[in-house]
Structure 1
Amino acid sequence: MKIAELRPATDEDRSRYSAQELVARVSQLGDPENATTPTRRQMIEKYQAALVIWRKLNDRKGELDTLSRIGGVNNYFDRPQALENFNQALALARAIGDPWGEESILENLAEVLSGMGEIFESLEAYEQSLAIARELKDHVGERLGLYGIALIYLNLGEAQQALDYNYQLLAVTRPSDSRDLLLHSLCKNHLLLGEPQSALDYCQQALSVWRAMDRRLFEAATLSYIGNAYSLLGEPRKELEYYNQALKIFREVEELNGEGSMLNSIGRIYQAQGEQQRALECFEQALVLFRKIPNAQAESITKRLIGEVYWSLGDGEKAVDYFNQALSRQRSLKDHSNEAATLLDMARAESDLGQLNQARADIETALSIVESLSAKVTSLDLRASYLATKREYYEFYIDLLMRFDSRRPDAGYAAQAFQTSERARARSLVDSLTEARIDSHQEVAAVLIARERTLKQQLSFNSNRLTQLLGSQHTPEEAATAQQAIDALLRSYAAVEADIRIENPRYASLAQPEALNLREVQTKLLDQDTLLLEYSLGEARSFVWAVTPTSIISFELPKRSVIEASARRAYELLTARSRSAPNERPEQKQKRVGLADEEYPRAAAELSRMLLGPVASQLGSKRLLIVAEGALQYVPFAALPLPDSSQSSVVSRSTTDNGPRTTDNYIPLIVDHEIVSLPSASVLAALRQETSSRSPATRAVAVLADPVFSRDDSRVPGSRAGRTVPASDQSLPADVVRSAEESGLKDFVRLRFSRAEADAIAALVPDSQRLEAVDFVA
């Protein structure tokens, strides 16, 4: 062992110590995330003093570290300066060959760019950081990169792309890793997909983590997501409560982006409650903050919200001006999700101003964007959730087309409105049926399907990037390189499609099904004895189309709230005997059911006049295909009285032990009509296509009834007979539990008379032509 003699300190040693001492003093001031602006300025001053020393010493490592620290503090209150700091640091890291420093700086640079609304530049920085992290096998850096990219896609409204990166994040998360980032990202992901309950579950878990870690910014962001979830659940009081909690934290830590976002969210609540002036005050405060940061994306969203207020106040011209400002910025940012929302607002304002042709062009563009984004969501359940949140786009377009129809009844606008209704409701349903017919595991290698999906996503992203490049300053070489990347992807995609067609020719024809147009519905689904009634409910007015093989006639109906209130009333009265009230005695139930039986004819007559009265002249004795929507899907149309009998149907019905007895003047629709209920006309076509190549069934009827749900059923030897089986009973099959939850069932009560019904149905055909499954077999 050699012991070196302690040498006297040099001027360089003293300078180095001074720089390190300055950095140490900054750490004593706390975390910049939770600090006030004056404290952050103190941090910057000390770091700047240290930076001067490192540069005098020509210590490039020290300079790099301090530049990064300065950028990290500036990110909380001066993002343009933070951008300059990190760009200087990035150039230095590359000059001295420090890949670890380069990775970290790119990640921080991406965060700054995202906060400034420079979405694609941020995405590029995250991708570079992620590539370096994987090369260095930096597990933490890889997780941060995946998390950052997922958030970028969420901000772009690309829910499926975000979910893909979240799944990658989940795959690399080790048991020992904190799941904070994953929970945070999944929370926002499920909000975008229109799944508030799932989002709440993730948010509550994330909130506990952030509070335990004293990460106040993440806590505030999660509180805002919880508010968003309650917004989707229709609970404005809870929504406002969580937004105010988040706003308080954002203001305390002086986080301008978060403060502006919360002001916008609170303004939206005031706007929905009709307090337009309070809403405008919130939005204008937010606009000042976003301009100060600056955050181009958030500024564009706020301008749209201000436009909405002016539209509500009746100032359509001023509204359109704000919408145009927002739209211009969103298109330059390639912010397609918000572009669609602005186009919808623009179309509504133009419609009010009488500019119907321009309104039509804008809503058609908006719908094209919405459907393009939904097509990228590979999960059918998630795609259905996403489209459900975009129903208002279709409703407005249908209403607009019907306005055109009222002006020019023979121009085919009613047919276009009907086709839009089919397009809205059939898309995800037909996709589901189609996918059910594709056995990719047996007929097409799963790796080919996955490769096809990945190439579609890469093509979409690279096309967007090329469009952005061509819209900015670029060299011919840069444009050529971007186009070559797309051409290579197209060649790969064509090769994969060829391989899929070789393995399964059916897949290519089924993978992109379309809703039927009017002519296809008339020729493929209807005959002279069949009438299609398709309902579309809207906020201001609703419609029904009566379609035969040779004609289509449209009728205007009351608005959604009126129809759904009447439908719910009729449904509640009709199902009164099958429901039990808490602590209700037998005589109380009998009285309640008796009152319901007396009131039902009036309620059913009212609903019948509303829904069937306008089309009464079209009914004849035809088979009726009924495509309902919303609360109408709960209505058993077969039990509604015929429209022409609804005046006399208000005579009360008597009640027997076996249920309601209909008097002669109450004629249910099913007496004169065969009733077929459908989620959409296109679904019927998909079902027919599925069965077209199927061998005919060997028997005429299959009856399943009166199953045994649990070991406590009286039919089980030694059972504890009489115990009601809760729908959540874990001993039940998972599909049964799921179905019960979706139907709102709390328990499974044996339906004893279903056995008699099954026997009666089975008796209609010979033994050789039937299958009857009851008891344990069912």
Structure 2
Amino acid sequence: MNRWCLPIGVVHLTAPVALYAGVLLMSTTALSQTVLPANEPIGLEQQLQIPLNNNLQGEAREQADLLLRLGGQAHRGGNSEKAIAYWQQALDLYQQIGDFEGLGLTYDYLGLTYADLGRYPQAEESLRRRLGVARYLRDFQGQIYGLNNLGTLLLQGGNLDAAEQSFTEALEISRTVRNQEGEGLTLSNLGLVAAQSGNYLEAIKRYKEALVFRRRLGDPLGEANTRNNLGDAYRALDQHRDALGSYRYALQLAEDSRDFPNQFRALRGLARSYTIVGPEPLALKALNQYLALAQEQGNQSEELTSLQLYAEFYVVKGDLSNARTLYEQAIALANALGNTQQEALLRNDLAQILYERGDK
């Protein structure tokens, strides 16, 4: 078995942007889901000047690789803490034998999982160490991905200047080594920095540049993600017609590739823009598609979002009675899911509805 083909599955982030590396990390919110292919298999003999005829060292490497795989299995089973424990053991072994490739991959997994758990200082430390390994090995692809991961984490923390610096360095390396996948991804991430800064025109420019590479390389997941980002930027500027075009394209790409997160994002954007500019039947069609997809996937969090979207639709249409009913249903579901933050926001929205109706 090739030791470098060790996917650990899909990690869900609550932050607005996604990280990636040898694993796939996805966002559950509206801004982005960023996906890049895993590193190509790397030959140790080519990368490391380590004698391979040492039996103890060979056994240690095999044990470390096994621990890496066991961590992946634990992660897929939903036990992130157990996965971290396995990867920490693997890390110790890779350090003992000087296996820098193993170290880099393990730091990736640890950093991304710490981020998913909200343990951002540990995530940042792991991702910086991963980047250091890539620089030591002169692994330019690893540097591009590492800088994007680090920049994404910084963006999540609201450190826009540092995030932009990280992405800019990744862009320079991508262009120097002609890594078009990295260039497309980094341009899209720079668009996110601009959007989060409120500079939506710059964001649109970056997203359009990114789309050139994502179309050229036949990357439907990346293209759907960037088109959703583009739609979000247009919608922020109240350019709903342009937003609708971007969301429709993203939805088609996501449906063709069974990319459910980007389907939800595109339908969410379509519902909100059609709610503003019409026609009303298309807004309801997008809402119905959203709810059907959530139920098909058994995704109650997205069902909660669909109820909120329906309520927003009826508020805009002035049907406060229906809006109240839907907010009450959404509050009940949020309570059942233990989502106290969302429940509080929904209760605030409902209070506004009751105030406007003059209800107690």
Which TM class, normalised by the smaller chain length? 0.5 to 0.7
Does the 8 Å contact 1:260/1:289 carry over to 2?
Answer: yes
Report the CA distance shift for 1:251/1:202 in structure 2 as closer, same or farther (over 3 A). same
Of 266, 278, 286, the residue aligned with 2:202 is 278
Asked whether 1:220 is paired with 2:144, we answer yes
Q: CA deviation at 1:372?
A: 2.4
Q: CA deviation at 1:298?
A: 0.9
Q: Deviation per CA, 1:128-171: give whole Å up to 9, x if none.
A: xxxxxxxxx95576577678x78xxxxxxx98669499459628
Give 1 or 2 for the bigger CA radius of gyration: 1
Of 319, 322, 329, the residue aligned with 1:407 is 319
Counterparts of 1:142 and 1:184, CA distance in 2: 17
Output aligned runs, 1:165-180, within 5 Å.
166=83, 170=87, 173=90, 175-178=92-95, 179-180=103-104
Counterparts of 1:310 and 1:300, CA distance in 2: 15
Asked whether 1:310 is paired with 2:234, we answer yes
Asked whether 1:301 is paired with 2:214, we answer no
Of 330, 355, 358, the residue aligned with 1:555 is 355
Report the CA distance shift for 1:373/1:262 in structure 2 as closer, same or farther (over 3 A). farther
- When the two structures are superposed, what TM-score results if normalisation uses the length of structure 2? 0.66
Question: Aligned partner of 2:312: which letter?
Answer: D
Report the CA distance shift for 1:172/1:368 in structure 2 as closer, same or farther (over 3 A). farther
Does the 8 Å contact 1:196/1:232 carry over to 2?
Answer: no
Report the CA distance shift for 1:285/1:429 in structure 2 as closer, same or farther (over 3 A). closer
Match of 1:358 in 2: 285
Could you say what secondary structure the match of 1:234 adopts? coil
Counterparts of 1:193 and 1:328, CA distance in 2: 32
Could you say what secondary structure the match of 1:187 adopts? helix
Match of 1:632 in 2: none
Match of 1:288 in 2: 212
Could you say what secondary structure the match of 2:354 adopts? strand
Counterparts of 2:314 and 2:79, CA distance in 1: 35
Counterparts of 1:197 and 1:401, CA distance in 2: 42
Q: Deviation per CA, 1:698-721: give whole Å up to 9, x if none.
A: xxxxxxxxxxxxxxxxxxxxxxxx
Could you say what secondary structure the match of 1:555 adopts? helix
Question: Aligned partner of 1:186: which letter?
Answer: L
Of 150, 174, 177, the residue aligned with 1:253 is 177
Match of 1:336 in 2: 260
Q: CA deviation at 1:289?
A: 1.1
Match of 2:349 in 1: 543
Does the 8 Å contact 1:330/1:338 carry over to 2?
Answer: yes
Q: Deviation per CA, 1:530-557: give whole Å up to 9, x if none.
A: xxxx85369xxx52449xxxxxx82359
Output aligned runs, 1:745-764, within 5 Å.
none
Q: CA deviation at 1:420?
A: 0.6
Does the 8 Å contact 1:159/1:193 carry over to 2?
Answer: no
Q: CA deviation at 1:250?
A: 2.1
Of 320, 331, 335, the residue aligned with 1:421 is 331
**Structure 1 unaligned regions, length at least 5:** 1-102, 109-113, 116-121, 127-136, 151-157, 375-386, 431-533, 547-552, 558-613, 619-778
Report the CA distance shift for 1:106/1:236 in structure 2 as closer, same or farther (over 3 A). closer
Counterparts of 1:146 and 1:256, CA distance in 2: 33
Counterparts of 1:277 and 1:228, CA distance in 2: 20
Counterparts of 1:160 and 1:556, CA distance in 2: 47
Does 1 or 2 have the higher relative contact order (CA < 8 Å, sep 6+)?
Answer: 2
Does the 8 Å contact 1:301/1:326 carry over to 2?
Answer: yes
Match of 1:241 in 2: 165
Counterparts of 1:305 and 1:283, CA distance in 2: 7
Does the 8 Å contact 1:343/1:363 carry over to 2?
Answer: yes
More strand, by proportion:
1
Counterparts of 1:353 and 1:418, CA distance in 2: 26
Output aligned runs, 1:473-512, within 5 Å.
none
Match of 1:721 in 2: none
Could you say what secondary structure the match of 2:349 adopts? strand
Counterparts of 2:176 and 2:319, CA distance in 1: 57
Counterparts of 1:334 and 1:276, CA distance in 2: 29
Q: CA deviation at 1:286?
A: 1.1
Output aligned runs, 1:479-628, within 5 Å.
536=345, 542-545=348-351, 554-556=354-356, 618=360
Does the 8 Å contact 1:543/1:555 carry over to 2?
Answer: no
Q: CA deviation at 1:292?
A: 2.3
Counterparts of 2:135 and 2:197, CA distance in 1: 32
Q: CA deviation at 1:264?
A: 0.4
Q: CA deviation at 1:300?
A: 1.7
Does the 8 Å contact 1:344/1:362 carry over to 2?
Answer: no
Counterparts of 1:174 and 1:188, CA distance in 2: 15
Counterparts of 1:337 and 1:323, CA distance in 2: 13
Does the 8 Å contact 1:280/1:306 carry over to 2?
Answer: yes
Q: CA deviation at 1:256?
A: 1.4
* RMSD, aligned α-carbons: 4.5
Q: CA deviation at 1:317?
A: 3.4
Report the CA distance shift for 1:241/1:106 in structure 2 as closer, same or farther (over 3 A). closer
Report the CA distance shift for 1:180/1:535 in structure 2 as closer, same or farther (over 3 A). closer
Report the CA distance shift for 1:163/1:256 in structure 2 as closer, same or farther (over 3 A). farther
Counterparts of 1:334 and 1:104, CA distance in 2: 27
Q: CA deviation at 1:229?
A: 1.6
**Structure 2 unaligned regions, length at least 5:** 7-22, 25-36, 42-60, 96-102
Match of 1:749 in 2: none
Q: CA deviation at 1:225?
A: 1.6
Does the 8 Å contact 1:264/1:286 carry over to 2?
Answer: yes
Question: Aligned partner of 2:246: which letter?
Answer: Y
- Number of residue pairs aligned between Structure 1 and Structure 2: 303
Counterparts of 1:234 and 1:392, CA distance in 2: 25
Counterparts of 2:93 and 2:292, CA distance in 1: 47
Q: CA deviation at 1:220?
A: 2.7
Counterparts of 1:392 and 1:272, CA distance in 2: 22
Counterparts of 1:165 and 1:239, CA distance in 2: 30
Asked whether 1:183 is paired with 2:95, we answer no
Q: CA deviation at 1:227?
A: 1.6
